[in-house]
Amino acid sequence: MSIRKSAGQPRKRSPIISNTGFLGATFVDTIEIEENAYHFPRASLQIVHHVLNGLLQASTSIFNEHGISAHLACVYLKRQKKLGLVLSKQKFTEKEGEAYFHNYLLERNLYDGIGGFRDVYNTGFLGAVFIDLSNIERFTYEFEMKLLLNLIKSFLIPAKELFISHNIKAYISGVEISSQDKIGFVLSKKPYDEKKEADLYFAEYLKERGLFKLKGLKDITLHSFEG
């Protein structure tokens, strides 16, 4: 599956979208996710963490391109059955993210079993947001898709608040346009009305790039050009 990202332009022409701080969006086609569907229950997640991490890595790139030091990654500790969102003001590797999340759980007595602390040299970590999936014995594709949609919409709310509390102006919201089979995040350097502006910006973002389709008419793609 492909994660798409692109820097957007401030919305000055539209009287409906008042926020001029939008930076762009990262999204994935749910149809492409369906190509990775599985038919038998599994002991661990197969899809959610990969999709989320791809979207977050792309979001990090856009923030960094605009001089915003917001770094995000999704970390899945399979044996712990915990899925976390790790935040930092400095760039970090996949190993560092896993080690930080591991230590984060240990420090708060949320680590199942016996584990020792791991070395973490990155001093930019700000915190983590996570969900505990230990009550789920087997995972199905249908469960993962429902979980993914729920996390897209809610996982970033406390993360955004954590960035803002550290004076990092990284505003991010989950968006879904089911008629377009697309889910993802919209990014901004300014606060905005999430309920009204996020989905609207995402729809306009897709239209301007010829990625918005009219359903029922053989999926005719709308193309828009300036001038």
Digit-coded pLDDT (tens) for 72-117? 999 999 999 999 999 999 999 999 999 999 999 999 999 998 889 9
Residues 6+ apart with CB under 8 A from 68: 168, 169, 170, 189
The number of domains in the chain is 1
In a domain, 146, yes or no: yes
Q: For residue 141, tell me if it sits in a domain.
A: yes
Helix or strand holding residue 172 (H, E): strand 171-177
DSSP helix/strand/coil, 180: helix
Q: Residue 221 — very low, low, confident or very high, per pLDDT cuts 50/70/90?
A: very low
Which pLDDT score, from 0 to 100, does residue 222 have?
A: 35
Residues with Cβ < 8 Å from 123, sequence gap 6 or more?
Answer: 90
Mean pLDDT across the stretch 150-164?
A: 94
10 or 158, which is more confident: 158
For residue 46, tell me if it sits in a domain: yes
Give the pLDDT band (50/70/90) at residue 61.
very high
What residue type is 182 in one-letter code? K
What is the pLDDT at residue 11? 46
What domain range is 9 assigned to? Answer: 4-194
Domain membership of residue 88 (yes or no) is yes
CA–CA gap between residue 63 and residue 5 (Å, rounded): 11
Determine, yes or no, domain membership for 97.
yes
Pairing relation of β-strands 212-214 and 220-222?
antiparallel
**Is the predicted pLDDT of residue 14 greater than 60, yes or no?**
no
pLDDT bracket for residue 21 (50, 70, 90): very high
Q: Which band of pLDDT confidence, cut at 50, 70 and 90, is reported for residue 213? A: confident
Rounded CA separation 204/193 (Å): 16
**Has residue 213 been placed in a domain?**
no
**Residue 171 counted as domain residue:** yes
The answer to the question of residue 219 being in a domain is no
pLDDT at res. 7: 58
